[in-house]
Structure 1
């Protein structure tokens, strides 16, 4: 998998570092590569990053996505776009509709948007990997799971077209981590009977 992470802020840099450390071919795309210091992977222009990628992770502020799509939408044709950006002030936090309009040939997934960067930087909470909720088409499920696992999180698939459900998880995380004071290094864990000691998931 060749990954282009668009955005060189905390989330973009943290994800790129994890992807690169896991052996994924990863670059960061920036409008001004020369201004990026101490990058964990190679930094190139956005156009260069997109040209060499089959998977694109949008790790920009949500307010920057429309401009990115207006300029680079056609270059996303045939690529998997993993939307990690949040339009926090908008009625809908994800950019599924905008990607579909500006890059109709792209495939869309929603991930890395429902927890803070602190969890991406250190996915073990009390010695246990946090779960990470995501939505993607079934044919893209394995690719997104590979990305989430590369960060050290346990992927939990919500099915296709469940982007707004992923968005709701962000607000639950905010409520627990910030408003309820549990701290930003907080995560989720899905527990099932197969997690019980001595159980066999095949039973």
Structure 2
């Protein structure tokens, strides 16, 4: 199992990091205020600085507000070289939700992937009541597909659904379809992707 650095300890980062730890990963949370943080819960995960989490993570999951991504990359972009970095952010209300262009500009050595952005954090905390699994669309380079899929499927109730390399816009399209459902069905929503052929 890889060591996962989770940047962000809020609803998304905290929920995902604890799920990864329970799924067998070594997890280091990156927080601006690590002292006294309860992000790890009872999982055995560690809470450190952002620098420590980036350094420790073979895989880094970015779970910050969309407005903070560029600043993070300006400060830490070089340290992401060679690492699989999973973009779980959404730049609302911008016309482009993913941070692929920011990574290309400020962290070109990172191995960019897009996942965990199309569903609300409640789906990651509690599997949907209909029994799931819920398909989670993701994009990554082909060589990182298994790594990202295993990370997704360590979260109870999720099934990885690969859209291909450089398919972050398709992940964003899934977000546009799903988010209106939260207002009518609640925020823990199951997604089933059905294909023909």
TM-score range for the pair, normalised by the shorter chain length? over 0.9
Aligned to 1:39: 40
Q: How many residues align?
A: 192
Equivalent residues of 1:173, 1:187 under 8 A apart: no
Aligned to 2:193: 190
The offset of 1:36, in angstroms, is: 1.9
Moved more, 167-176 or 4-13: 167-176
Rounded to whole Å, the distance in 1 between the matches of 2:194 and 2:176 is 21
TM-score when scaled to structure 2? 0.93
Tell me if 1:52 matches 2:59: no
Tell me if 1:115 matches 2:119: yes
Q: Secondary structure at the match of 2:164?
A: coil
The superposition leaves residues 150-179 of structure 1 with CA deviations (integer Å, 9 ceiling, x where unpaired) of: 01200111111110110111121111221x
Aligned to 2:5: 4
Moved more, 116-125 or 50-59: 116-125
Equivalent residues of 2:28, 2:48 under 8 A apart: yes
The offset of 1:90, in angstroms, is: 1.4
Q: Secondary structure at the match of 2:35?
A: helix
Two-structure CA RMSD over aligned residues (Å): 1.5
For 1:155-166, list aligned pairs within 5 A. 155-166=160-171
The offset of 1:190, in angstroms, is: 2.2
Equivalent in 77, 99, 103 of residue 103 of structure 2:
99
Rounded to whole Å, the distance in 2 between the matches of 1:38 and 1:13 is 5
Aligned to 1:199: none
Aligned to 1:62: 66
Structure 1 gap segments, 5+ residues each:
195-203
Moved more, 139-148 or 37-46: 37-46
The offset of 1:35, in angstroms, is: 4.7
Distance 1:38-1:134 versus aligned 2 partners, 3 A rule: closer
The offset of 1:3, in angstroms, is: 0.4
For 1:164-175, list aligned pairs within 5 A. 164-175=169-180
Rounded to whole Å, the distance in 1 between the matches of 2:114 and 2:195 is 24
Tell me if 1:18 matches 2:19: yes
Q: Which runs of 4+ in 1 moved over 6 A?
A: none
TM-score when scaled to structure 1? 0.90
Aligned to 2:141: 137
Rounded to whole Å, the distance in 2 between the matches of 1:107 and 1:65 is 16
The offset of 1:38, in angstroms, is: 5.0
